[in-house]
Structure 1
């Protein structure tokens, strides 16, 4: 396992001697930038602000104000007041804001790369995935929203006499609760379509990576987003969660399955709607005809991007017995060669975990499997000499039911390899989980890969890729089956979920009830004949 030492100096690097409200950033541009971003937070009268640590060093990044219930409700009141004017603007005007935002994200990406690395502990290439995702989403909804939201004509009950159409209205004020692991990408994927649909937004990002969301919020203002349309509040879920649920006209949540279930129950009592992206235990199936070298390299990316702290990352690999030994040897070698480090450059291939809680979970899962007989083929230990939260990318074999990582989501750089002899056996094993978020299939035969993919119970499946093909294809929906979630983000569905559909019909000429003096039976017989004829019309 190769490594690099975390950089403590350099342009926009981590300066351990810097003190003040914004810590662990240089006294130059990054410190000033972070202080400016913190000042954008809505509310903050909480008497107990918190200091968030940098994963690479454990030293504080920034002191963040924490909102209370009243401040969150005030933010919703402001958003509600701004929503009418925003919704009345032409969709193409809202699109232009997103197009300008796309350009700003790419032009100022270095700022975002630094912030994401410092807050989340990612390797820089993983941070760039977030920049590219934010740009792709802004471009997609900046180009297609007007078409997707346009009024739609439909066939009326009586051709020529019934004019029918569907129009879309924004939900109102959308509450968005964002996770810590992909602060830039998931903010864009959830906030941008909500705004394009004419809603206003109150977002609660996780405290750990709040600066990344605030950076995107600042760029949105520069792109022309009016004040009050998108607001950010910071706070503890136990303190402000009730206000977020009660004030939202639509709630969007990304996080754990238990929390998602609890929020769904609360929203259901209000008869409002929601979308949830929750946990996963994502499988990868390597078919016997797969290119072993490509599959092994793809598995490294699928399993260890963002140190495995990615909702769609792979934690289970099923390899046909004919190539299992060859694949495992190649995969273990590539995994062991990964460069770990915390420098703000593109040298390291994997960063650290983001929190002490994640490090404890990963360590506990590996130790439980090891103590019960599983083999650690590579990795399996923390690397405190690199930083407080580094853990080696780990490959396990011999993981069986009863071992924690067999069925529970680890959400870290740990993957288990299994063999199979029949593809149906592999599909059944892959589907044998309460989760259904993402999956991966590897084959030289694209049709065979597609056929296996269609049999997997997962919201997204990638053939000859781990997750990036569907993650980056923002024109198609992304989300989970079973306990991995409800609803979808991205694509037309990711926009329309933030709207209410309304059907309008204009009736002319013939009434839809018998006229005066017309017997009901005669009317029914005539309508029956008409219905039989309508069935044969090509547009019905």
Structure 2
């Protein structure tokens, strides 16, 4: 029997978190947060205003000036501490994540590991990335050039509800390490996870004013936040991302946007079906499919399609649904009644237009108010919305293909390009196929963890799946202003007074020809 969360205990904890950090006063209206496990109210968050945003940005900016003056090794030490602290305090963090999102405990644990890994990586590698670096000068030996990186100022983060810890803290870590202040606007469904995470950051040694949180509705808090900060990071829908990019463009600030996906999985004719079925289960149903990287289109070579389908359906039907803290639960709840309705509409529309449900396809209110069965469909044609639009739930569709070329063509026939996976026993073939898929991350014989968990490599989307990258060098340096300092040791690069311009041009031409022949 699954262990349930004590809603009353969690409510007390959430009210304490709000009292400790919010900028909004008692006269602010409240927004009710609901427990996805039960549909019951948990607590309320303040409905932030533009004035709250202004105050938060001012605090973060002032704190950021002092923070940027600290040696980068001292800043990195905070995140070394966080990497251990988040593991030590994981039980309480998992409870908060689950109470707000309704996800399975193992899915919540995935967020804890993500933050610990990101903190450890940037604490170790970030100082070297931020260190001044020599660059090749215009004239060898005569020109000395150095590249430096300065913080942009204040970074705004607008984070989603599906990974409320990972997609707040893991994005904030490089921004903070680079010397910036951060103002976070978390999703209204999951603000308490962000508040709990802020406490851990402060306990790890982060200055209290450096990381501000303003809760509230996106339409109220988002626009003034974008108007106030120096860089904006957003994870969410493509539609909202376009509006944010437009506002950032008007303000001449840079942004990083991870947006929607309709991710393909390719099962080639030489795939190991055991690996492919496990990958399909993980890729389709982790976090109840509420994952931008989820596999929603599975293209299987016709020679394997029947056996793959049988094994995938059997594996899916063996999954345990539940709403509680038991580690044995495989698939938890969707986030809300509204989101459940969208998933139901997608599946119902597909069935009405001729799709076949192989397993699942129903809500399970006896398990939890927003629980939906892991669902596999076939016979999904191009005119069905589920074929091309992101469902963002525990729903995937199987399509047969006759060749590798057809699989690649159909995988790329989408406006999105976030994640993909390829299953084959030929490593070289897998990597070559992966390189032909138009997606920011492509995994061979894995669903998404291989790429996303490799924090040293960039992660982001092609096409309508976004701009910018998180992780790796790109994920840190995007939060900086690059500066070039060039010293000319022989004086200005211009004709010396007594030398005619023509002679100077001839001399520079000879020098350039010499440099063109140089191996350096």
Sort the TM-score into its range (normalised by shorter chain).
over 0.9
Q: Which residue of 1 aligns with 2:499?
A: 518
Alpha-carbon distance between aligned partners in 2 of 1:398 and 1:39, rounded to the nearest angstrom: 53
Note if 1:191 corresponds to 2:168. Answer: no
Q: Deviations over 1:435-482 (max 9, x none)?
A: 000000001111111111000010101110000111111111111110
| Aligned counterpart in structure 1 of residue 405 of structure 2, from 420, 424, 444 | 424
CA contact (8 A) 2:248 2:255 kept: yes
SS in 2 for 1:535: helix
Q: Which residue of 2 aligns with 1:18?
A: none
Q: Deviations over 1:113-132 (max 9, x none)?
A: 11111111111111110010
| Aligned counterpart in structure 2 of residue 78 of structure 1, from 35, 59, 64 | 59
Q: Which residue of 2 aligns with 1:268?
A: 249
CA contact (8 A) 2:419 2:448 kept: yes
CA contact (8 A) 2:158 2:222 kept: no
Unaligned runs of 5+ in 2: none
SS in 2 for 1:39: helix
Q: List 4+ stretches of structure 1 deviating above 4 A.
A: none
Alpha-carbon distance between aligned partners in 2 of 1:219 and 1:241, rounded to the nearest angstrom: 25
Q: Which residue of 1 aligns with 2:16?
A: 36
| Aligned counterpart in structure 1 of residue 142 of structure 2, from 142, 157, 161 | 161
CA contact (8 A) 2:313 2:376 kept: yes
Between stretches 37-46 and 246-255, larger displacement belongs to 37-46
CA contact (8 A) 1:176 1:252 kept: yes
Alpha-carbon distance between aligned partners in 1 of 2:363 and 2:257, rounded to the nearest angstrom: 32
Q: Which residue of 2 aligns with 1:17?
A: none
Normalised to the residue count of structure 1, the TM-score between the two structures is: 0.95
Q: Which residue of 1 aligns with 2:34?
A: 53
Note if 1:385 corresponds to 2:366. Answer: yes
RMSD: 1.1
Note if 1:25 corresponds to 2:8. Answer: yes
| Aligned counterpart in structure 2 of residue 294 of structure 1, from 262, 275, 281 | 275
Q: Which residue of 2 aligns with 1:176?
A: 157
Q: Which residue of 1 aligns with 2:415?
A: 434
Note if 1:462 corresponds to 2:443. Answer: yes
Q: Deviations over 1:255-288 (max 9, x none)?
A: 1101100011011011111110000000000011
In the alignment of these two chains, the number of paired residues is 519
- Cα displacement (A) at 1:31: 4.3
- Cα displacement (A) at 1:510: 4.9
Q: Which residue of 1 aligns with 2:384?
A: 403
Q: Deviations over 1:78-134 (max 9, x none)?
A: 111111110010110010000101111000100111111111111111111001001
- Cα displacement (A) at 1:188: 2.1
- Cα displacement (A) at 1:509: 1.7
Alpha-carbon distance between aligned partners in 1 of 2:278 and 2:73, rounded to the nearest angstrom: 42
| Aligned counterpart in structure 2 of residue 237 of structure 1, from 197, 215, 218 | 218
Alpha-carbon distance between aligned partners in 2 of 1:265 and 1:494, rounded to the nearest angstrom: 22
Normalised to the residue count of structure 2, the TM-score between the two structures is: 0.98
SS in 1 for 2:8: coil
Alpha-carbon distance between aligned partners in 2 of 1:74 and 1:433, rounded to the nearest angstrom: 42
Alpha-carbon distance between aligned partners in 1 of 2:124 and 2:164, rounded to the nearest angstrom: 23
Unaligned runs of 5+ in 1: 15-23
